[in-house]
Amino acid sequence: MSDQSETDRHADEIQIVTELHHILRPLEELEEKMRHFYEHCREQFREDAEASAVFARLAFEERSHVAQVQYLRRVVDRNKESMAPVELDLKELEFELVRLQSAIPALHQMSLMDVLEFALACERGAAELHSRAAIVEANPSLAELLRSLGQADRVHIARLEKFLEVRRTSTP
């Protein structure tokens, strides 16, 4: 009996996915939720023109990220036979998705600084990085497509850090 319960517990803790298109779907969802989050931030801080503009630009760029992942999914679907399986635990991605979804209703209780810190934490999130690294390791031919998404995330991090620093230094 204890062997069975240990197996069940282990299955609950780790959700390994090997088919690439099953990994790309939550990655696409993560990009979409980031877009949705930034759109809510734009609206939440609409009276702060600078903040609203930063969030609007981030939301616009996330829309592009969604399109990039959708393109990647089409490439994978057309080349299924040449795609190597990817071993990846989706729990991190699922955690990030839930965290983002739960943050949206709480935005009205968060200061701009808190929202910026949260956005930075999301952009730096390990789940997306681990997913991309696992995909590239198993399928090097996809490296360039994923590298552009990683570069876009680094641009978002730099933009958020710069705006956060400006606001920290201008707030008494």
Backbone angles phi, psi at 89, to 5 degrees: -85, 120
Domain segments of the chain as ranges: 2-170
Q: What is the pLDDT of residues 83-116, one digit of tens each?
A: 888 887 788 888 899 999 999 999 999 999 999 9
pLDDT tens sequence across 19-68: 787 888 988 999 999 999 999 999 999 999 999 999 999 999 999 999 99
- 130: tokens are 């681990």
Query: Considering the entire predicted model, what is its pTM?
Result: 0.83
The Cα–Cα gap between 157 and 152 comes to 9
CATH topology of domain 2-170: Ferritin (1.20.1260)
Helix (H, G, I), strand (E, B) or coil at 88: strand
| pLDDT at res. 17 | 53
Distance from chain centroid for Cα 144: 18
Which amino acid is it at 151? Q
Burial (CB < 10 A; 0-12, 13-18, 19+), residue 70, is: middle
Rounded-to-integer distance, Cα 30 and Cα 65, Å? 10
* Closest by CA position to 86, among listed 29, 26, 39, 32: 26
